[in-house]
Amino acid sequence: MEGCVLSYINKMCLRMMGWCLLPTLFAVLVAWPMSVVLALLATAGGQPVLPDLPWQLASIGAAVTLLLWAYQMIRLWRWEHGKGDGCFVCGCLLGRERSGRWGPYRKCLGCGKNHSLQNAIS
Ligand SMILES: [Zn+2]
């Protein structure tokens, strides 16, 4: 029985889109305890204070996630049309520029190989 094998393109899409969920996750993790505390304050007899704040916070997190997804979708669209730097091993998109021991490099989002920018600059 074969296991689930991700192709390089699937890995690239996962690496590009996965971290976009972080704003929504963070907003929900903040909004959930906040709604519990606000509900406790309301049941304790106090005035309801900012009852829509958790919902607004989660909505802002979802909006930021959608914006990040849109940006990544534009990058993928450009990659499909041959624009943007691609990996010479697998053809996937390259990640952001990083500085390493042997100079600046970019990591492939598909196969994970490092591509030196030393020769590309000079
Ligand atoms: Zn690659």
Give the residue with greater pLDDT, 122 vs 68: 68
Band (118; pLDDT cuts 50, 70, 90): confident
Band (120; pLDDT cuts 50, 70, 90): low
43 CA distance to ligand 1 middle (Å): 56
Sign of CA dihedral 4, 7, 110, 14: negative
Q: Which of 1-5, 60-64, 112-116 is modeled with the greatest confidence?
A: 60-64
114 DSSP 8-state letter: E
64 CA distance to ligand 1 middle (Å): 28
- Name residue, tokens 């979802």: 62
98 CA distance to ligand 1 middle (Å): 16
34 CA distance to ligand 1 middle (Å): 43
109 CA distance to ligand 1 middle (Å): 7
Distances (CA, A) of 60 to 18, 38, 56, 63, 122: 18, 19, 6, 5, 43
Mean pLDDT of the chain: 89
Per-residue model confidence (pLDDT) at position 3: 66
> Are residues 78 and 48 in contact, defined by beta-carbon separation less than 8 angstroms?
no
58 CA distance to ligand 1 middle (Å): 35
Note the pTM of the prediction, 2 decimals. Answer: 0.78
- Cross-strand bridge partners of residue 108: 94
Alpha-carbon gap, residue 49 to 66, rounded angstroms? 29
Per-residue model confidence (pLDDT) at position 122: 46
Q: What percent of the chain has pLDDT over 70?
A: 94
Tens of pLDDT, residues 1-43: 466 778 999 999 999 999 999 999 999 999 999 999 988 888 8
**Radius of gyration for the alpha carbons in the chain, expressed in angstroms and rounded:** 21
86 CA distance to ligand 1 middle (Å): 8
